[in-house]
Structure 1
Amino acid sequence: MAHIDLFFSTISPYAYLAGNRAEKVAEKHGATITYKPLDVLALFARTGGTPPKDRHFSRIDYRAQELVRQAKKADMPFNLKPAHWPTNQAPSSYAVIAAQNAGGGDLSGLCHALLRACWAEEKNIAEDDVIRACLKGAGFDPALADSGMLTGAETYAANLEEAVERGVFGSPFYITDGDQRFWGQDRIDDLDAHLAGDL
């Protein structure tokens, strides 16, 4: 069975705009996904990237145009300047890690609920009540927000180290069994083609 490691940040606009397209591709090809939330700002620092606020104005302007275009293409609600961004990524990431370890709910739904809360619903995904609501909505025990903090912190840090070692430099980033790497929500069609044996 094919497998995909999905490295992403819970505050990444591009991870939000990916929607559930990668999950549909995985289902189509009978592939599994392991979600690996990480600190994308730390990833930038480790891999030669620059935080959005520190980029040249031409890059900032282009990013603003491109995000709006991509949201329209995906027909997804999107706020270019959400009230709570950037925010602390760790609590929501720990919740994803705890939910993945616990099983029994819709992990994809949880990830997308957190991303949607940030980029479309003006919610602060560092807050416990927001995280608990997302967990509950995805069929998980809201108490997972309080459990496994040590494991969550260790896995969160390990995900960053693994990402750096495996050539990840942005979010979302998909890596297949054969170490084929696909960066960005605009490469999901290529991921599909690769899993089909066409690319």
Structure 2
Amino acid sequence: MAASRPHVEYYFSFISLWSYIGSLTFQDLTRRHNAGVVYKPVNLLQVFAAGGGKPVKERPLQRQAYRFVEMQRWREIRGIPLVLEPKFYPADPSLGHRMLLNAIEDGAEVGPFVHACLKAVWADELDIADPATLVRLANASGLDGAALLARAERPEVHRREAELTEEAIARQMFGAPYYFYRDEPFWGQDRLEMLDGVLASGRAPIPMRQLG
């Protein structure tokens, strides 16, 4: 019997710096392992609050300064365009997340749209809170942007959006991106090499311990 296809749950936000930095590497990883991806956009500020984190501008100045150093290192390592202080950051990603959930509901291939929205913030300096911008990004990614936008205010898609954030908090997440493979968590794009190794080796998962 052929082995079942692996699946990775991917929690992220369109405004997540580190989700963008790891985006192409994650796509390459899943292609190499023929892994399916379960895309799960979340409200990053709510996840921060539940996990004791702070938005960038509320962090100590020392951490803010060091973040710029890391951004430049990873820009070089990943070979991607990256603006250190993008014009439209932070923007509200909620509408884009709901359009994405509509595309997922339709069974569409959403990987290109996810990367396009991440890149829009961190490289192209576009406003992903702007409906027209989101429609253009969706169209360029092979989706019907106008149709996805037209359904974005449905109560059920708002409910799904909220449920994913509640799910992330229940799984003890405290930032983004988070990748889960067989319930083993990998926090941050700098853990992608570890995820790659687990997918290659097939070792038993290390589950998250529930505390409290």
TM-score, normalized by the shorter chain, greater than 0.5: yes
Match of 1:113 among 111, 116, 119: 116
Find the aligned partners of 1:119 and 1:148 in 2 and give their Cα distance: 24
1:15-164 equivalences in 2 (<5 Å): 15-104=19-108, 106-143=109-146, 144-149=148-153, 150-164=155-169
Q: Secondary structure at the match of 1:18?
A: helix
Q: Secondary structure at the match of 1:77?
A: coil
Deviation at 1:10, TM superposition (A): 0.5
Amino acid at match of 1:159: L
Structure 2 residue runs of 5 or longer lacking an equivalent are 204-212
Poorly superposed stretches of 4+, deviation over 3 Å: none
Find the aligned partners of 1:39 and 1:2 in 2 and give their Cα distance: 26
Q: Which has the larger radius of gyration?
A: 2
Does the CA contact (< 8 Å) of 2:8 and 2:35 recur in 1?
Answer: yes
TM, length-normalised to structure 1? 0.94
Does the CA contact (< 8 Å) of 2:95 and 2:152 recur in 1?
Answer: no
Amino acid at match of 2:177: P
Amino acid at match of 2:145: P
Amino acid at match of 1:126: A
- Please tell me the root mean square deviation across aligned C-alpha atoms, in Å: 1.3
Amino acid at match of 1:118: V
Amino acid at match of 2:8: I
Q: What whole-Å deviation, never above 9, does each CA across 1:86-140 have from its counterpart, x for those lacking one?
A: 0111011111111111123x41100010011111111100001110011101111
Deviation at 1:198, TM superposition (A): 6.3
Does the CA contact (< 8 Å) of 1:20 and 1:108 recur in 2?
Answer: no
Report how many aligned residue pairs link the two structures.
Answer: 197
Deviation at 1:141, TM superposition (A): 0.6
Deviation at 1:167, TM superposition (A): 2.1
Find the aligned partners of 1:185 and 1:116 in 2 and give their Cα distance: 15
TM, length-normalised to structure 2? 0.89
1:176 and 2:175 matched? no
What is aligned with 2:15? 11
Deviation at 1:153, TM superposition (A): 1.4
